Amino acid sequence: MGRIPLLLILFFATNSSIALAGPENLSIFDPVSPAATPIRDLFMLVFGVIGIIFVITEGALIWSIIRYRAKGDETKEPPQVYGSNPIEVAWTVIPIIIVFTLFLVTTRSIYSLDMQEAPEGALKVKATGHQWWWEFEYEDLGITTAGELHVPEGIPVFVELRSADVIHSFWVPRLAGKIDCIPNRENHLWFQADEVGTWYGQCAEFCGSQHAKMLIRVISEKEVDFNSWVANQQLQAAEIPTEANGKETFLSLACINCHNIQGVTTVGGFGPDLTHLMSRDTIASGAANNSTDNLRLWLQNPDSIKEGALMPNMMLSDKEIDALMEYLQTLK
């Protein structure tokens, strides 16, 4: 006993998130991708088998406690069985068969999901974990973005996983299992979003103080919507003059050492590409909505949104922030 009741509690605790399925549903029991369904099915199978074992063993225990409770009548002791070969063989062989079957089914699931080469017609994306944000590069399409991964509905997506610093782990529970991003190594994962929607995920390997704010959003869209998103992302930054001439301010500050803006500056790369910043719903890998207030707060002091973020507090004056805000908001 001990382990199984705990599992039961855990099961109902995690499973209850189905009922509560809010916008940020992270339940592995609610897959929308053929790369996630086998994981749910395997869990259910293993859980079913151990559930039956639990009921049988605990049932036998409770039954014998009640049936053979001492009532001062020595003659009612349970019959003792010693050295019965058939019984010894049965309770050795049955567990071996159960464990072996579960082992085979598990290996089959692992192998069926493992994919080291992109399948025909897949969209290829390179996902790089940084402390504490995600970079997504669509090399074939010439797009670099951050925090939010756009994909077409119903098409397999083949993700190459890397890390720029420490070990991270890419996990979007409703789309696929989790796979680590390891420095100097390339791992792979695939998924296919069979519905239009936003699927939430999270770095699943403790990677430093702001690990919990290293979120992932996968946005699956109808193919036409995806294509128009691609067409916009492929454009260089629009040249829109602003009153306070924010572009000059941006170029005069250290921003350019860390951030790229296609068509403007490409010496950065340490921080997120800002070319189409305003096309994102969130900033800082989902740590805050991309609202005017939050963007401003971020420029004033990134720590107020993500304490310890690797973008320094630039001690900008209000005037500089006004100018930068104007400029950043042209980056659609």
d(CA 322, CA 287): 22
* Count of residues that interact with ligand HEC, criterion CB under 6 A: 30
Buried/exposed code over 155-173 (b: 16+ C-beta within 10 A; e: otherwise): ebbbbbbbbeebebbbbbb
Considering the rule CB under 6 A, would residue 324 count as an interface residue with ligand HEC? yes
Q: Which stretch binds ligand HEC (CB under 6 A): 22-30, 86-94, 178-186, 257-265?
A: 257-265
Q: What is the arrangement of strands in the sheet containing 148-152, beginning at the earlier edge strand?
A: 148-152, 215-221, 197-203, 168-171, 179-181
HEC string of 268-290 equals CCCCCCCCCHHHCCEECCCCEEC
Q: Is 328 in the site for Cu ion (CB under 5 A)?
A: no
207 binds, among Cu ion, ligand HEC, none (CB under 5 to 8 A by kind): Cu ion
Whole-angstrom distance, CA of residue 318 vs CA of residue 330: 19
CB of 15 to Cu ion, least distance (A): 27
Binding of residue 217 to ligand HEC (CB under 6 A): no
- What is d(CA 70, CA 188) in angstroms, rounded to the nearest whole number? 61
Residues 141-200 that bind Cu ion (CB under 5 A): 168
Q: State both tokens at 35.
A: 């790369």
Name which position in 197, 253, 303, 329 contacts ligand HEC (CB under 6 A).
253
Q: Which is nearer to ligand HEC, 109 or 301 (CB)?
A: 301
- Between 109 and 294, name the residue whose CB sits nearer to ligand HEC: 294
CB of 220 to ligand HEC, least distance (A): 20
Contact letters for ligand HEC, residues 91-130 (x by CB under 6 A): ----------------------------------------
Binds Cu ion by CB under 5 A, chosen from 127, 176, 189, 203: 203
Q: Which two three-digit tokens encode residue 74?
A: 């020595």
Please tell me the distance from the alpha carbon of residue 197 to that of residue 224, in angstroms, as a whole number: 15
Contacted by 324, from Cu ion, ligand HEC, none: CB < 5 to 8 Å by type:
ligand HEC
What burial class does residue 186 get, using C-beta atoms within 10 Å of its C-beta: 0-12 exposed, 13-18 middle, 19+ buried? exposed
Q: How far is the CB of 181 from Cu ion (least distance, A)?
A: 8
